[in-house]
Amino acid sequence: MTSIFLQAFIYLVAAVIAVPVAKRLGLGSVLGYLIAGVVIGPVIGLVGEETTTIQHFAEFGVVMMLFLVGLELEPKMLWAMRNRLMGLGGLQVGGTAAAVMGIALFFEQPWTVALTIGLIFALSSTAIVLQTFNEKGLSKTEGGQNAFSVLLFQDIAVIPMLAFIPLLALPELIEQAQAAATTAAEHHEELSLVAGLPGWAYGIVITGSIIMVVVGGHYLSRPLFRFVASSGLREIFTATALMLVIGIAALMSLVGLSPALGTFLAGVVLANSEFRHELESNIDPFKGLLLGLFFITVGAGINFSVLFNDFSIIIGLTLGVMIVKALVLYSLALIFRIKGSDRWLFTLSLAQAGEFGFVLLSFSLQNHVIPAEVAQTLSLVVALSMFLTPGLFILFDKVILPRFEKTSNDRETDEIDDQGTIIIAGIGRFGQIVNRLLVSNGVKTVVLDHQANQVDVVRQIGTKAYFGDATRPDLLHTAGIEHAAALVVAIDHHEHSVELVKYVKHTYPKVKVITRAFDRGHGYLLRQAGADIIESETYHSALEIGGHAMKTLGLHPFFVEQQKTTYKRVEERKSDRLYAAWEDDSEDERFDNNYRDLFVRLEEVMAEEMKKDRSDKHSRSERGWTPPPKGYADTFDDDDQSFKTDH
């Protein structure tokens, strides 16, 4: 037990120190983890052999990552991206794999090994690239969007690769492995449902499992999540999410399929579910930590003696791989007419190998596809190319972008095709009206509510609604608050709505926050919290009712309308002064004497204003339509006018 604590502590300390430092230096968190691993492994030697065991465990982070990738992939979005995805992505993976394979063949590698190496280097680092795009605000550029399509294709392509690579196993490596296993006499059967089954039965079992994931994900998960959500216990929801992912991974391993494939499928199936954002925010921390652990073990496993012995070869290979990748990307950018600085962004951002490269490497090694010494060298090449990526981004920022900025200022402003979304927190009586107005006008809304049955109702009328507590930062994040145009706060809980406004205005000052207030005091609190627009939930309807009452008394509807307008104008001015008084008072004195006095005084102002006379004894509300005094025209002189009627 003590040793487990110690080891966990070492890993965590390394991550806690190295990752923030790497981030601050602009290297990104992936490199931070790798460096942490290098430090505790080969440099200080705090961890040793056990890293391989931990690495197998940490690979589960990759399974979770694919689940999350699946969750992000709504079939509709996938379809809309099909051209770029298949065209750019397909050609990139195919082209790079072929080019790298060619080079490997040139170095007299067997064709199976060469192909595997090609596939490994065809992949780029989703983690580094997407994170850097987000940090530098490049996600919405054309280069960024195209790079995303390629990364997405690569992430999906990993799944068939994982299925395909074992077929390339080298017979002599298998023999060696078996020999080693029998001598050690530790060889034991892996737990499997399909061992010893005939081919046709195996096919049925596999098809059945996949159908089970798809159908179960679609029909069974919702009642389950709803049942769990109704308990209102967050940790049980988290447990359910983990149970789902682990369960699918277990099922897939039992039937001899890749767990990553299974969870990816489950993710896609659940992408349309109202629980999607909640699932994402629950799984994401686990994924992050496990992937971090994975990268640490990769760093710890780097063999420095190999690096220093073959220093020039490894550096040469790294640069070679990056140049080949960049060439393939640049020609694709030419073919797909990606122009200007976007072409360079696309080329440079994807020129490294990626974390899936490590996964495929350790996977190939396990499956006896490539010899251990080749894997050692290649894993150094993958790591080095990732280390060099921040440099490429700096090159883009400092050298390439300035060159294009000069010329790009002349062109016309970009069409704004992304209108931005509105996030609506709370979809009760109030939020529903807001949502219906927006949706019927073609505005994209994301609706969040913590009552699963409420979400159901809204979903039935075709709105994208998600289950979850909108006051939780992680859920807001997965709902896309960074890119939202505005957040509408329509949740019932008074304090929570103030907290939510405070958090959003503090963290995302650019997002407009539109809120409803329950009463005057709540309105002031919201205003203090930084809300941009505050409407009292009773104000407008009460004014309407007052107007109806006046009309019932026989007053002219248009006169009533004017009086309502005047009321609103005075109220608006009044509320500013009242707010100032309220804010000046200390916490417990609020709504005390000072405020009360002012309130009474301003009520009198309202009454005066309603009757207020101008110099010509007419009410202010009808000021504009006031007729001139009787006999006013006597002063006009007919001869004085130069108006001619015969043009």
Partner 1 sequence: MSQKVLVLFAHPSQHRSEVNQLLFESAKQINGVTTVDLYAEYPTFNINIDREQQRLVDHDVIIFQFPLYWYSTPAILKEWQDLVLEYSFAYGPDGDALAGKAFFCSLTAGAKAEAYHANGYNHFTIRQLLYPLEQMASLTGMCYLPPFTLFGSRTALEEKRIDGHLESWRDLLRRLVAEKVELDIAASAEKLNHYLDTNPAQKVEAK
Q: Which positions touch partner 1 (CB under 8 A)?
A: 565, 615-616, 623-626, 628-629, 632, 635-636, 641-643, 645, 647
Question: Which residues partner with 514 through β-bridges?
Answer: 488, 533
The tokens describing 68, both together, are: 């999350």
CA–CA separation, 368 and 110 (whole Å) = 13
Nearest to partner 1 of 564, 577 (CB atom): 564
CA angle 394, 400, 402 (to 5 degrees): 100
Which tokens in the block code for residue 557? Answer: 């509807």
Closest CA to 277 of 462, 465, 127, 454: 465
> Smallest distance, Å, CB 556 to partner 1?
17
Is the Cβ of residue 188 or residue 630 nearer to partner 1 in the bound state?
630
DSSP E strands: which ranges in 207-365? Answer: none
Least Å from the CB of residue 564 to partner 1: 10
> In the bound complex, what is the minimum distance in angstroms from residue 523's beta carbon to partner 1?
22
Task: State how far the Cα of 519 lies from the Cα of 537, in Å rounded to an integer.
Answer: 8
CA distance 248 to 209: 9
Least distance (Å) between residue 569 CB and partner 1: 8
Query: Which 3 state secondary structure label does DSSP give 641?
Result: coil
* CB-nearer residue toward partner 1: 84 or 620: 620
**Burial zone of 601 (CB within 10 Å; 0-12 exposed, 13-18 middle, 19+ buried):** exposed
Nearer to partner 1, 409 or 645 (CB): 645
Q: Exposed, middle or buried by CB within 10 Å (0-12, 13-18, 19+), for 227?
A: exposed
Name the minimum Å distance from CB 258 to partner 1: 51
Name the minimum Å distance from CB 641 to partner 1: 6
Closer by beta carbon to partner 1, 183 or else 635: 635
Contacts with 329 (C-beta within 8 Å, 6 or more apart), sequence order = 92, 346, 347, 350, 351
Cα(458)–Cα(478) distance, integer angstroms: 20
Q: What are phi and psi of 371, to 5 degrees?
A: -65, 150
Least distance between partner 1 and beta carbon 516 (Å) = 20
Nearer to partner 1, 200 or 632 (CB): 632
Q: Which residues pair with 534 in a beta bridge?
A: 515
Sign of the torsion angle spanned by Cα atoms 576, 580, 583, 589? negative
- Which candidate, 131, 12, 106, places its Cα nearest to that of 386? 131
Q: Which residues pair with 449 in a beta bridge?
A: 467
What's the min distance (Å) between Cβ of 642 and partner 1? 7
Strand 512-517 relative to strand 486-489, pairing: parallel
Residue 453 or 626 having the CB closest to partner 1: 626
Residue 116 structure tokens: 């595997």
Residue bearing tokens 């969040």:
448
We find the least distance from the C-beta atom of residue 419 to partner 1, in angstroms, to be: 14
558: its two tokens? 């248009």
Cβ 624 to partner 1 shortest distance, Å: 3
CB of 626 to partner 1, least distance (A): 7
> Nearer Cβ to partner 1, position 200 or 625?
625
In angstroms, give the least distance from the CB of 147 to partner 1.
35
| Residue 410 beta carbon to partner 1: minimum distance, rounded to whole angstroms | 17
| Choice between 368 and 620, CB closer to partner 1 | 620
| Alpha helix (H) residue ranges in 255-275 | 259-270
Given a contact cutoff of 8 angstroms between Cβ atoms, the answer to whether 129 and 155 are in contact is no
396-402 contacts, C-beta under 8 A, 24 or more apart: 396/341, 396/344, 396/345, 396/348, 396/349, 397/136, 400/341, 400/344, 400/345, 400/348, 401/341
Complex with partner 1: residue 196 or 631, whichever CB lies closer: 631
Nearer of residues 45 and 624 to partner 1, judged by Cβ: 624
Distance (Å, rounded) from C-alpha 377 to C-alpha 413?
48
Minimum distance from CB of 547 to partner 1 (Å)?
14
Closer CB to partner 1, 205 or 610, in the complex: 610
If residue 74 lies in a helix (H) or strand (E), which one and from where to where? none
Residue bearing tokens 């069409």: 415
Phi, psi of 644 (to 5 degrees): -115, 145
* DSSP structural state of residue 46: S
